[in-house]
Amino acid sequence: MRFYQEFADWWPLLSPPSHYVEEAKDALAMLDASTPGGHGSLLELGSGGGSLAFHLKARFQMTLSDLSPGMLEVSRAVNPECEHVVGDMRTLRLGRLFDVVLIHDAIMYLTDADSLRAAFRTAAAHCRPGGRLLILPDCVRESFRALVSMGGEDGADGRSLRYLEWSWDPDPADCSFETAYAFMLRSADGSLRVETDRHVEGPFARADWLRWIAEAGFGVRVRLDPWQRDVFIGKREA
Amino acid occupying residue 205: A
CATH class (in words) of the domain with range 2-140+204-236? alpha beta
- Mean pLDDT over 174-186 rounds to 96
Domain boundary assignment for the chain: 2-140+204-236, 141-201
Phi, psi for 166 (deg, rounded to 5): -135, 115
Closest to 19 measured CA to CA, from 187, 233, 179, 227: 227
- How confident is the model over 31-40, as pLDDT tens digits? 876 666 668 9
Average pLDDT, the chain: 96
Fold classification of 141-201 is N-terminal domain of TfIIb (2.20.25)
**What integer pLDDT is reported at residue 37 of this predicted model?**
62
Cβ contacts of 164 within 8 Å, gap of 6 or more: 148, 149, 150, 181, 182
233 vs 230: CA distance, rounded Å: 10
Q: What confidence tens digit (pLDDT) does each residue in 62-86 have?
A: 999 999 999 999 999 999 999 999 9
117 to 4, 91, 130: CA distances (angstroms):
23, 11, 20
Predicted confidence band at 1 (pLDDT cuts at 50, 70, 90)? confident
